[in-house]
Amino acid sequence: MPYTLTMASRTTTTKTRRIEIRITEQERSLEQAAASVNGESLSEFVRRAARREAERTLAERTSYALDDEAAQRFLTALERPSADAEKGLRRLTEKPSVLPEA
């Protein structure tokens, strides 16, 4: 793949970790074609796609949509938690987060 001005202008952080995956020839061809259209390396294309998917997956588990009735029950539970809920929340907040710090 030719080196492009787009590639040269991107700021990069030193990447020190490596992962390996097995893919079919068809997957590699598809991903290489998409990377080329974007003017980036296959590694960069796959890394960015994996990151987008990881962020989307985690975001799905941090945002919730509730109807009015469910929202009211949720708010009531927050305002008047049971003793078991308080104990569980205390245990939960004592554990380190699995998410990177912002």
Question: Model confidence over 46-88: pLDDT tens digits?
Answer: 999 999 999 999 988 887 889 999 999 999 988 998 889 889 9
Could you tell me the CA-to-CA distances from 74 to 46, 61, 63, 78, 93 in Å, in that order? 39, 16, 14, 6, 19
Q: How confident is the model at residue 1 (pLDDT cuts 50, 70, 90)?
A: very low
pLDDT value at 2 more than 90: no
Structure tokens at 54: 């990881």
pLDDT top residue among 6 and 64: 64
Q: What's the pLDDT score for residue 12?
A: 64
Task: Note the pLDDT tens digit of each residue in 11-20.
Answer: 667 888 999 9
The radius of gyration computed from the CA coordinates of the chain, to the nearest angstrom, equals 22
Q: Report if pTM > 0.85.
A: no
For residues 32-57, average pLDDT? 95
- Looking at residue 10, what is its pLDDT? 57
**In the chain, where the domains are located:** 19-60, 65-95
